[in-house]
Amino acid sequence: MTPPSILISVVVPTYNYAHYLPRALDSVLAQWADDMELIIIDDGSTDDTERLVEAYVARCPALRYVRQANAGAASARNEGIRQASGKYVLPLDADDELTATALATVRAMVDAEPDIDVILGAHVSVHIDGRERVHLPTPVPKLSARSMAFKYLLDKRISVSHSCILIRRELLLQRPYPLTLRTGEDVPVFAYLLVTGKTVVTDQPLARIYKHPDSLRNDRCDEEQSAMTMVREVFSSLPPECQSLRPRYEAQRYLSLFRAAMLECDRPTARRFYWHALHLSPPQALRWPYFRKAIRLFFKD
């Protein structure tokens, strides 16, 4: 008998998350079907991840476990995509979990519209104190590439997250996660997907996304260099009609640095970052949320 073709590859990159990983794996195995596969990419964990996953593999031989030397989240995601054989990839973070109907929901949507490239779903945010909140996806209208890039990168009107997104694997092979970024590696990829692919949304929650101290990324080391690397990576894969947005997006990255410096009460650095943003794009720097902070910064005694 010919084995069924794989429709959905659930890819779980992990690094020292053995204490969260069972929740993610159980959420996938509870809705297992013949047209899917589950791939775990262990990015050189030093905790009990290997022992834990091998126990899962013993119970479910269809589960695939790949261990690599520590190389960062982008490398682990790319390896999972290379290993996948499904038409679509669902990137599930190791500290999240799928909802009970997630895979049935996206499968039905793909069956109804086989030319879908990206599905954005709702998700439930679960906070450390137990509070939960449902986040619905923003509708994604049919726009030009430039307008779509503006809406995602500058207007912040489109929110995209791992764990509640299904992506055609072919697009991820075209725009791999950039190894030059240790954080925010998803932004260039998501920008490319929105500009390039056919995107649809569903109000059905696809994942429960957990907020906890381990998931916070507040390291300001080499922050300016990282911000400029982000700009280069984002625009390296966007079409020519989007390139005129680059100065404004670079200004936006400096405004993010400005805000972080303000939170750290680093006034000299905050001033420098704001002046950079103002020089690059006055319309972006003069947006009221940033301009209001700049007024306090420059005129406060």
**pLDDT, tens digit only, all 301 positions of the chain:** 445 799 999 999 999 999 999 999 999 999 999 999 999 999 999 999 999 999 999 998 889 999 999 999 999 999 999 999 999 999 999 999 999 999 999 999 999 999 999 999 999 999 998 899 999 999 998 899 999 999 999 998 899 999 999 999 999 999 999 999 989 999 999 999 999 999 999 999 999 999 877 654 556 678 999 999 999 999 999 999 999 999 999 999 999 999 999 999 999 999 999 999 999 999 999 999 999 999 988 886 4
pLDDT at 130: 87
Q: Which residues share a beta bridge with 119?
A: 166, 200
Q: Six-digit token pair at 57? A: 């593999």
The answer to whether residue 226 sits within a structural domain is no
pLDDT at 218: 52
Q: How far apart are CA 55 and CA 62, in angstroms?
A: 13
pLDDT at 166: 98
Radius of gyration of the chain (CA): 20
Q: Six-digit token pair at 183? A: 């954080």
Task: Note whether 94 and 145 are same-domain residues.
Answer: yes
- Please name the residues in contact with 98: beta carbons below 8 A apart, sequence gap of 6 or more: 10, 24, 27, 28, 31, 90, 92, 163, 206, 207, 208
Task: Note whether 78 and 171 are same-domain residues.
Answer: yes
Task: Note whether 205 and 252 are same-domain residues.
Answer: no
Q: State the CB neighbour count (10 A cutoff) for residue 33.
A: 11
Q: Six-digit token pair at 161? A: 């997250």
The answer to whether residue 229 sits within a structural domain is no
CA nearest neighbour of 185 among 239, 141, 229: 229
Task: Note whether 183 and 253 are same-domain residues.
Answer: no
Helices (H), the chain: 21-29, 49-59, 73-83, 102-112, 145-153, 169-174, 186-196, 223-236, 246-263, 267-280, 282-285, 288-299
**How many CA atoms lie within 13 Å of 288's alpha carbon, on the beta-carbon side?**
0
pLDDT at 299: 82
CA nearest neighbour of 88 among 193, 232, 183: 193
The answer to whether residue 220 sits within a structural domain is no
Q: Which residues share a beta bridge with 166?
A: 119
Owning domain of residue 54: 8-215
Task: Note whether 148 and 288 are same-domain residues.
Answer: no
Contact of 49 with 20, CB cutoff 8 Å: no
The H or E element that residue 135 is part of is: strand 132-135
Cα of first residue to Cα of last residue in the chain, in angstroms, is: 79
Q: State the CB neighbour count (10 A cutoff) for residue 284.
A: 19
Helices (H), 115-185: 145-153, 169-174
154-177 burial code (b ≥16 CB/10 A, e <16) = beeebebbbbbbbbbbebbeebbb
pLDDT at 193: 98
The answer to whether residue 234 sits within a structural domain is no
How many structural domains comprise the chain? 2
Task: Note whether 149 and 261 are same-domain residues.
Answer: no
Q: How far apart are CA 134 and CA 123, in angstroms?
A: 6
pLDDT at 216: 47
pLDDT at 214: 62
The CATH number given to whatever domain includes residue 161 is 3.90.550.10
Task: Note whether 198 and 86 are same-domain residues.
Answer: yes
Last residue of a domain, one of 215, 248, 276: 215
Residue 48 one-letter amino acid:
D
Q: Six-digit token pair at 42? A: 């262990």
What is the pairing mode between strands 199-210 and 97-98?
Answer: antiparallel
What is the pairing mode between strands 8-14 and 36-43?
Answer: parallel
Q: How far apart are CA 71 and CA 12, in angstroms?
A: 15
